[in-house]
A = this chain, B = another copy of it.
Amino acid sequence: MSIQSRRERERAEREKLIVTAARELAEAEGWEAVTTRRLAERVEYSQPVLYSHFKNKVAIMAAVAVEGCADLAEELRAARTAAPDARRALADVGAAYAAFAERRPALYDAMFSQFVALPFATPEAPPALHAAFGELVEAVRPHAGGDDLPMLTETFWAALHGLVTLMRDGRLPREHHDHRLALLLARFTG
């Protein structure tokens, strides 16, 4: 019995090791550099070991994405609770969101850009994802007026997402990011 539990613990540790290595490699060199061979080499196991933990490479990325959700939720929460009023709260949360995407592009990609088949707007979605979205909801709430809160939050989220992804791919000039963010906030803070 204790032997089995030790094995399970070791397996869990190794799984964590894989996910961490994937995240570090992606953040250091981008997802295109995360190949199963390099990842296996990094965790000092052979390639097939990865497949005893995860169905495929996408599942590894999904695990990284879940970690990222927790980080994002934390940063959004910090921004929101530190703000002096509702207006600043939304502004700071928006800025924190954009800063997260800018500072950790690979992580953001796994969460929201790459196709990772995470369940999203369903109960099976990872709790960390709900938590992150919940922070946005709370930041939007005071400005919802008579509008549907979840739906308005989704819209605000989408706007932030569009801003950061278009900027990241060079489709929007970086230097005016703050200005665009301010314009967006002006339209969402009644």
Identify the A interface with B (CB < 8 A): 112-113, 115, 117, 120-121, 147-148, 151-152, 154-155, 157-163, 165-166, 169-173, 176, 179-180, 183-184, 186-188
8 Å CB contact of A159 from B147, B151, B162: B162
Starting from the known contacts A121-B173, A161-B162, 20 additional A-B residue pairs (CB-CB under 8 Å) come to A112-B166, A117-B170, A121-B171, A151-B176, A152-B183, A154-B172, A155-B159, A155-B163, A155-B187, A158-B162, A158-B166, A158-B184, A159-B162, A159-B163, A159-B184, A160-B162, A161-B166, A162-B162, A165-B165, A187-B188
Q: Indicate if the CB atoms of B170 and A154 lie closer than 8 Å.
A: no
Q: Are B183 and A151 in contact (CB under 8 A)?
A: yes
Each complex incorporates copies of this chain amounting to 2
With a cutoff of 8 Å between Cβ atoms, the chain B residues found around residue A186 in the complex are 147
Closest to A188 in B: B187
Q: Which of A152, A161, A187 has the most CB of B within 10 A?
A: A187
Q: Which residues of B contact A147 (CB under 8 A)?
A: 183, 186
Instruction: Give min CB distance, A17 to chain B, whole Å.
Output: 28
Residues of B within 8 A of A152 (CB): 183
Q: How far is the CA of A176 from the CA of B151 in the complex (A)?
A: 8
Residue contact B151 to A179, C-beta cutoff 8 Å: yes
How many Å lie between the Cα of A163 and that of B159 in the bound state?
Answer: 7
